[in-house]
A and B are shown apart, each in its own frame.
Chain A
């Protein structure tokens, strides 16, 4: 199975800050990576697909990038509603595994 090592597991930041979450794949997955936001009681939301394509309707404060097997989700100008847990998922090889998540706390 392809392993995704996501870091950090927890992040505390202030409104207006810029943060980055990293996801490293255990082997090459080309651009087959997506980022999601999960909030309790809400349907999970797709943020980024194909490593760097912003999903329709997602604010441009969110961006994704790729360098080799390392993928990064960046959120600029944090807002209180960005408090959530963020996950990466590889869709290159079955089973389509997820990272362990990053819980983002807005101070």
Chain B
């Protein structure tokens, strides 16, 4: 079955760029939707955005409007990885970051998640 694993730096300083990757194993990365979510220290969950990895066309990306200017998503099909970048980080970006697969039929849902990676922004 599909498994996801997040990786990246655990500590950044304010104003730096956060770069995380999500490795996909046990299934195809193409023709699927992939999502990033984060959980703040206060335990609130926030949907960051999703990307559809297309085999034939340009990838489709959905952003959380509140983070659109700072968040970018990409897919590397050759390495079976999804990437998240968050620019100009502040302490408010301290969180556990999860990647997840989004299932879609008549309804949408996140059916496979990674265990998450803890990221701290501190000077």
One of A32, A43, A53, A94 near B113 (C-beta < 8 A): A43
Q: Which residues of A contact B116 (CB under 8 A)?
A: 43
Contact A31 B115, beta carbon cutoff 8 Å? no
Are the CB atoms of A94 and B62 closer together than 8 Å?
Answer: yes
Tell me whether B110 and A36 are in contact (CB under 8 A): yes
> A64-85 CB contact bits vs B (8 Å, 1 = yes)?
0000000000000000000001
Report the Cα distance A50→B100, complex, angstroms: 17
Establish whether residues B45 and A89, one from each chain, have CB atoms under 8 Å apart when the complex forms: yes
Task: Compute how far the CA of A80 lies from the CA of B62 in the bound complex, rounded to whole angstroms.
Answer: 38
A50-B106 in contact (CB<8A):
yes
Chain B 76-111: CB-based contact to A (< 8 A → 1; otherwise 0): 000000000000000000000010100100111111
Bound-state Cα–Cα, A12 to B110, Å = 27
- Given the known inter-chain contacts A95-B64, A101-B45, please indicate yes or no for A45 contacting B113, CB distance below 8 A: yes
Q: Taking chain B's interface residues, is the majority helix, strand, or loop, or is none over half, making it mixed? A: strand
Contact between B109 and A43, CB atoms less than 8 A apart: no
- Contact pattern, A 93-107, Cβ under 8 Å of B = 1, otherwise 0: 011111011000000
Q: Bin chain B's interface residue count.
A: 20 to 34
Q: Which of B66, B98, B108, B115 contacts A32 (CB 8 A)?
A: B108
Residues of A within 8 A of B111 (CB): 46, 49, 55
Q: A94-B62, A95-B64, A98-B44 are in contact. Are A44 and B113 (CB under 8 A)?
A: yes
Roughly how many angstroms separate A45 CA and B115 CA in the complex, as a whole number? 10
Is the beta-carbon distance between B64 and A49 smaller than 8 angstroms? no
Q: What is the chain A residue whose CB lies nearest that of B104?
A: A91
Which residues of B does A touch, CB under 8 Å?
4, 39, 43-47, 62, 64-66, 98, 100, 103, 106-116
